[in-house]
Amino acid sequence: MKKINKWLLLPITFIILFCVGCSQKNTNPVKLPAPATSYQENSLDLKVKSAVAFDLKNGQIFYAKNATKKYPVASMSKLITIYLTLQAIKDGKISWDQEVTPDKDIVSVANNQDFANVAIKLNHSYTIRQLYQATLIQSANDAAMMLAKAVSGNQQKFVIQMRELLKSWGINDAQIYTPDGLPNYSLGSQKFTDNKMAENELSANDMGIVIQHLLKDYPQVIETTKIAKLDFKDENSNFQMQNWNWMLPGLSQYDAQFPVDGLKTGTTDAAGACFAGTMVKNGRRIVTVVMGAKHVDSSDPSRFDETKKLLTFIFNNYQLYIFKKGQKLNGTNTVSVKSGRPKKVTPVLQEDNGVWLRNNQKLQMQFNQNFITAPVNKGEKVGTLIDTSIPALNKNNALTLPATVNENIKSANFFSQIFN
């Protein structure tokens, strides 16, 4: 056998080493937390079964109580129905001026004086716009069922669509039976065959995720949820709708300290009094969800009292700080550069970001990559900065901000990469 020239082995060795370096896996070194169940709960005596409050833009959680536990959500379910309606309009499947007529199951609900309705009548027709407004303002169950019929053809098909939508958002264990939040039996001949008393159940965090998608994808919904009163016209008659969100201007729980402009109430015997509220503070939209507040009778304001208490806690304990594009945040360490120069860089903010901090609280950001691979242009996203001590409604369950570098990183030449 001929001897192999040792000088031929040298370039082969270089190539092998280079390929091994190239195959190094870039993993996330940050240990991500579980979804927040409780956060600052002991700082506030909130008399509800569950709650969550967060910043809409970055998902940062201010407060959480039993936030991952599922409870009946009643008419807050209608926010999912509204999302699917707006999606169908956007996709051209239905239109605002399209007219819809009810079936007997819908009229049966409309005639039930124990339910919130606009008394939809058999053989009458109503536009999608009317039904959309009635669903959000009057919390009309008959109107929500009409929207479901318009979008999917019948109630069961629409509910299946609701379930699929939630799963696409990562909400895999929700219990959904109706488009309006009433018990399963209310669908009449279109009810599901299992427990007739079953109600829609989601956690406070789940409702927060629904609201994130609704307000980010269709922010125009606020233009309707902020309406306190509006006439519902049905041929020759008028019915004045009044918003069940009593924190709106002109209604009984209005307070100028809390300029709430949405979003949705919910009430059943099983759910108690629920309320998803929202308002803008310091240019940032804050969302609150309270579930299972006291409900002695239809005049009980407890859900709004608890919402005000929650907002007051946020205002008194958090301050908004704006961190600038290109800024290095506390806790961020240098990271190695692969196949480039310089050999180490410090990740910085890719864009201006607002973060709410409590008194004496400091950020402790970690970069979510083991290394950065060259080439990279200044300002290009290279990963994310994560603070696991601050919970958030996002896939990381923690405050997450986009990261970049403050300089151009060039690829090293072939031999430098081998020796590195």
In a domain, 400, yes or no: yes
**Which of 50, 65, 70, 75 is labelled catalytic?**
75
- Statement to judge: residues 258 and 407 lie in one domain: no
Label residue 94 exposed, middle or buried (CB < 10 Å: 0-12, 13-18, 19+).
middle
**Which of 50, 139, 186, 339 is labelled catalytic?**
139
Query: Is 125 annotated as catalytic?
Result: no
The confidence score (pLDDT) of residue 18 equals 47
Q: Is 264 annotated as a binding residue?
A: yes
Query: For the chain, what is the domain count?
Result: 2
Query: Is 139 annotated as catalytic?
Result: yes
In a domain, 16, yes or no: no
Considering the entire predicted model, what is its pTM? 0.92
pLDDT band at 6 (very low <50, low <70, confident <90, very high): low
In a domain, 238, yes or no: yes
The confidence score (pLDDT) of residue 16 equals 47
- Statement to judge: residues 237 and 345 lie in one domain: no
What pLDDT digit, counting tens, does each position of 301-330 carry? 999 999 999 999 999 999 999 999 999 999
Unique residue bearing structure tokens 């804050």: 286
pLDDT band at 194 (very low <50, low <70, confident <90, very high): confident
Q: Are 238 and 210 in contact (CB under 8 A)?
A: no
Helix (H, G, I), strand (E, B) or coil at 252: coil
- Statement to judge: residues 177 and 273 lie in one domain: yes
- Statement to judge: residues 301 and 358 lie in one domain: no
Q: Tell me what the pLDDT averaged over the chain comes to.
A: 93
When pLDDT is averaged across residues 16-45 and rounded to a whole number, the result is 78
In a domain, 21, yes or no: no
Given a cut of 70, is residue 19 above it in pLDDT? no
- Statement to judge: residues 273 and 326 lie in one domain: no
- Statement to judge: residues 248 and 359 lie in one domain: no
In a domain, 15, yes or no: no
Last residue of a domain, one of 317, 336, 362: 317
- Statement to judge: residues 229 and 353 lie in one domain: no
When pLDDT is averaged across residues 286-295 and rounded to a whole number, the result is 98
In a domain, 32, yes or no: no
- Statement to judge: residues 405 and 262 lie in one domain: no
Q: Are 242 and 305 in contact (CB under 8 A)?
A: no
- Statement to judge: residues 313 and 335 lie in one domain: no
**Which of 49, 70, 78, 338 is labelled catalytic?**
78
Residue 41 CA to residue 60 CA, distance in Å, equals 15
- Statement to judge: residues 56 and 142 lie in one domain: yes
In a domain, 225, yes or no: yes
Share of the chain above pLDDT 70, in %: 91
Query: Is 75 annotated as catalytic?
Result: yes
- Statement to judge: residues 195 and 306 lie in one domain: yes
Range of the domain at 55: 41-317
Residues 6+ apart with CB under 8 A from 228: 242, 243, 248, 249, 250, 251
